[in-house]
């Protein structure tokens, strides 16, 4: 499954790298693509192992917020 998360607070390449690492560390996440200019994270994951709440928690753990 794939989802796009709108992320608040990303301002630089360091931000996107931290976010990519945090999301990639969630068990079941297969790939993460960050669009810094638009403020989005595209995440491909195994839906039997990961849910939206787990992805949101991974974003918040590194200091950012998922916008609804």
* 3-48 confidence digits (pLDDT tens): 999 999 999 999 999 999 999 999 999 999 999 999 999 999 999 9
Mean per-residue pLDDT, 55-65 = 97
Query: For position 56, which CATH number holds?
Result: 3.30.70.100
Q: How many CB atoms lie within 10 A of CB 35?
A: 13
Number of domains in the chain: 1
- Global pTM reads 0.94
Q: By C-alpha distance, which of 25, 14, 18 is closest to 49?
A: 25
Model confidence at 68, in pLDDT bands (50, 70, 90)? confident
Range of the domain at 31: 2-67
The runs of H, that is alpha helices, within the chain are: 13-24, 52-61
Place of tokens 């989802």: 3
């Amino acid at each position: 499954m794939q989802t796009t998360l709108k992320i608040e607070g990303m301002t630089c390449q360091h931000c996107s790298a931290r976010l990519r690492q945090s999301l990639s560390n969630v068990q079941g996440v297969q790939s993460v693509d960050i669009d810094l200019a638009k403020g989005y994270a595209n995440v491909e994951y195994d839906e039997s192992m990961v849910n939206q709440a787990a992805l949101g928690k991974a974003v918040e753990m590194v200091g950012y917020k998922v916008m609804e």
